[in-house]
């Protein structure tokens, strides 16, 4: 009986750790309401399905427990596919996909948040303050170590 209890405890502990280590991804629509109640900086990860650096960040940087903990506690986090075709209502605007060729295009919100020097690139990490002003923007892969330094400076 004791062995069963120990195994059950271990399985439940591991399951709880997996749940606790999940990054909370907010929808743009929900962020405005949350910001009114508890203002925090907003971290936005702008990516595409075909970008290998984006996938690498998703599978390494955003799986890091320190990153997850800091983002969940001190920031709101949103993920935006730069080629999403869904309309996003945010800050009293409706942002839409804009075609720019045969089966290609960019989402208006991605263009707003991931454009630096008139160039939109992926991945881009953009951080907004509670007034929705851009306070950080980087167009490149960020390791967990690099991102933790940035988040510490901004929180």
Mean pLDDT of the chain: 89
Q: Are strands 76-81 and 124-128 parallel, antiparallel or unpaired?
A: unpaired
* pLDDT over 70 percentage in the chain: 87
CA gap 119, 131 in Å, rounded:
24
Cα dihedral sign for 132, 137, 141, 144? negative
pTM of the model: 0.85
| Mean of pLDDT values over 16-37 | 83
Torsion (CA) 123, 20, 35, 42 in degrees, nearest 10:
-20
Evaluate if residue 4 carries a pLDDT over 80.
Answer: no
- CB 107, CB 80: distance < 8 Å: yes
**For residues 129 and 62, what is the distance between their CA atoms, to the nearest angstrom?**
20
The pLDDT value given to residue 5: 52
* Prior bond of 82 cis (ω within 30°): no
pLDDT digits (tens, 9 = 90+) for 115-131: 999 999 999 999 999 99
pLDDT reported for residue 104 = 87
Is 70 exceeded by the pLDDT of residue 109?
Answer: yes
Give domain limits for the chain. Answer: 21-154
> What pLDDT, in 10s, does the model give residues 66-104?
999 999 999 999 999 999 999 999 999 999 999 988 888
**Helical residues (DSSP H) of the chain, grouped into ranges:** 2-20, 28-37, 52-59, 65-74, 108-114, 144-154
The domain 21-154 is classified under which CATH number: 3.40.30.10, 3.40.50.300, 3.40.50.170, 2.40.50.140?
A: 3.40.30.10
């Amino acid at each position: 009986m004791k062995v069963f209890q120990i195994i059950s405890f271990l399985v439940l502990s591991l399951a709880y750790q997996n749940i606790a280590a999940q990054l909370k991804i907010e929808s743009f629509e929900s962020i405005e309401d949350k910001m009114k109640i508890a203002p925090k900086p907003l971290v936005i990860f702008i990516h595409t399905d075909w970008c290998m650096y984006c996938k690498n960040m998703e599978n390494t940087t955003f799986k890091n427990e320190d990153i997850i903990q800091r983002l969940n506690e001190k920031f709101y986090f949103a993920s935006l596919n730069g080629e999403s075709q869904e309309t996003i209502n945010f800050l009293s605007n409706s942002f839409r996909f804009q075609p720019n060729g045969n089966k290609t295009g960019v989402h208006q919100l991605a263009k707003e948040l991931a454009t630096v020097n008139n160039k939109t690139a992926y991945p881009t990490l953009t951080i907004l303050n509670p007034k929705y002003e851009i306070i950080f923007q980087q167009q490149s892969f960020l390791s967990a170590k690099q991102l933790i330094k940035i988040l510490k400076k901004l929180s």
